[in-house]
Amino acid sequence: MTNPLFYAKIILFGEYGMIEDSQGLVVPYSFYKGTLKFSDLSSEFELNSNRHLQKYSEFLTVLDLSDDFKLDIESFKNDISNGLFFDSNIPQGYGVGSSGALVAAIFEKYSISKLNPENISKDNLKKLKAVFGEMESYFHGKSSGMDPLICYMNLPILIENKENLDRVNIPEGEKGKGAIFLIDSGITGETGPMIQIFFEKMKTEGFRKTLKEEFIRYNNACIESFLKKDMNPFFRNLKKLSYWAYEHFRPMIPESIFNIWKKGLDSNAYYLKLCGSGGGGYILGFTKDYAKAEKMLEGFQKEVIYRF
């Protein structure tokens, strides 16, 4: 029997803001995926993955999860000794949830009380997110649990605030001129150091004030208008959000992206924002006219993830 596939995820809106109670909109991205498999570990990739799982199993052994969400660690360890590895093409350090997919896959296979993602109550969603946060903290030091939750549910999730989240329907994509796309910055990013920079910035009152009064307002307005497919206010707020990030998230914007970020703001041909914690990996792009944006972004590797 083959194990289920777990897809990557993309935070469309809410990176960093969710730490401070902004809304967030996170969607699965099926271009990248991972699954647990067995092999004789003859390739270096498989052997490395198996060794990582071994170390991770030690962390999970001492993790005190609540009774409803306990894992069968003995089975997990036994499978690791029999050649278990995580077969994944999700790039690491790209902000698309490589560790989230792994955590989701392990939970799905080894949780003692099985859950059905299709009918999890809102209350259990919240509890599951907290459990996933504990499980993923091994990789990032601190985790909201959002990435594994998206990978596990394989559905778009709207984070209303720190306490509430729910499944949500994304407007159907269509063959229009507009697009949401990913740009490859060409370097990997590390979540830990970027989050450290964010918390350092949060120590200054001016930054805290502008985050709460501007960033969160633009971010939430973008989510609201996107879900209503109301594109004029969407792009209006998106420009403000992109400009705010250009001013305040400079350390998180990869150097290779800096000039094209400004070019988008100056020309209004497209707007860029961080995809995850930044520092490298992917950057998100939004445009009303993808053909025009594509020309302006020549030389950069791009992937369209949504058309409108």
Q: Verify that 139 and 237 share a domain, yes or no.
A: no
Q: Which pLDDT band holds residue 1 (cuts at 50, 70, 90)?
A: low
Mean predicted confidence (pLDDT) in 108-117 = 91
H or E, element range at 271: strand 271-274
Higher-pLDDT residue of 85, 172 = 85
Burial class (CB in 10 A: 0-12, 13-18, 19+), 272: buried
Asked whether residue 174 is assigned to any structural domain, the reply reads no
Confidence of residue 171 (pLDDT cuts 50, 70, 90): confident
147 and 52 housed in the same domain:
yes
What are the pLDDT digits (tens) for 139-148?
877 787 888 9
Tell me which residue range forms the domain holding 62.
6-167
Which domain-ending residue is among 167, 195, 218?
A: 167
Question: What is the reported pLDDT for 95?
Answer: 81
- Report the CATH number at residue 26: 3.30.230.10
Provide the percentage of residues in the chain whose pLDDT is more than 70.
Answer: 99
Domain boundary among 108, 137, 167: 167
Q: Where residue 233 sits, what CATH number does that domain have?
A: 3.30.70.890
| Whether residue 114 has pLDDT greater than 80 | yes
Last residue of a domain, one of 102, 136, 167: 167
Both 129 and 93 in a single domain? Answer: yes
Question: Which two three-digit tokens encode residue 237?
Answer: 């707020």
Same domain, 133 and 236: no
Amino acid (one-letter) located at 205: E
Mean pLDDT, residues 220-248: 97
User: Is the residue at 162 inside a domain?
Assistant: yes
| Same domain, residue pair 184 and 160 | no
Overall domain count for the chain: 2
Q: How far is CA 183 from CA 211, 263, 293, in A?
A: 25, 14, 11
Question: Is the C-alpha dihedral spanning 62, 66, 71, 72 positive or negative?
Answer: positive
Q: Are 184 and 256 in contact (CB under 8 A)?
A: no
Q: Are residues 158 and 192 in the same domain?
A: no
Do residues 151 and 242 both lie within one domain?
no
pTM: 0.85
- pLDDT tens per residue across span 71-102: 999 999 999 999 999 999 998 888 888 899 99
Task: Specify whether 191 is located in the same domain as 98.
Answer: no
Residue 76: both structure tokens together:
């997990």
Residue 219 CA to residue 25 CA, distance in Å, equals: 10
**Is the domain of 138 the same as that of 18?**
yes
